[in-house]
Amino acid sequence: MVELVVGRPHPTHETDIKPRLGQKLVVHNETYEPAQMKAISAYDQIMNRFQRKQFMLSVSWSNKVGQRLSTKASLHGGDRYMEYLKAAQVGLE
């Protein structure tokens, strides 16, 4: 599964590029690697600095993701992706 997010800078506010997770945390070649807590903690700190610099509410990225994935209801239908892909005949086995 791949996701692409495209945006544009706010016309009146100075903006910066949002830091992204390192490839070691998001790319899994044929096997899933368990979470690397040191790298996730480092990313939380990077995001905290970015949020402060951008005058954003400082929210822990890892806590936010944990809440987003914590219950079936919080997935807002994401638990049915495979069902949708099979119905769309995407070619999954």
Q: Letter for the amino acid at 5?
A: V
Using alpha carbons only, give the angle 82, 32, 81 rounded to the nearest 5 degrees.
10
Q: Which two tokens stand for residue 14?
A: 């100075």
> Is 44:61 a contact under the CB 8 Å cutoff?
yes
pLDDT digits (tens, 9 = 90+) for 31-90: 767 778 888 999 999 999 999 998 899 999 999 988 888 888 888 888 787 787 778 876
The arithmetic mean of pLDDT across residues 14-42, rounded, is 83
Q: What is the pTM of this model?
A: 0.66
| DSSP structural state of residue 54 | T
Element (H, E) at 83: helix 81-87
pLDDT at 60: 94
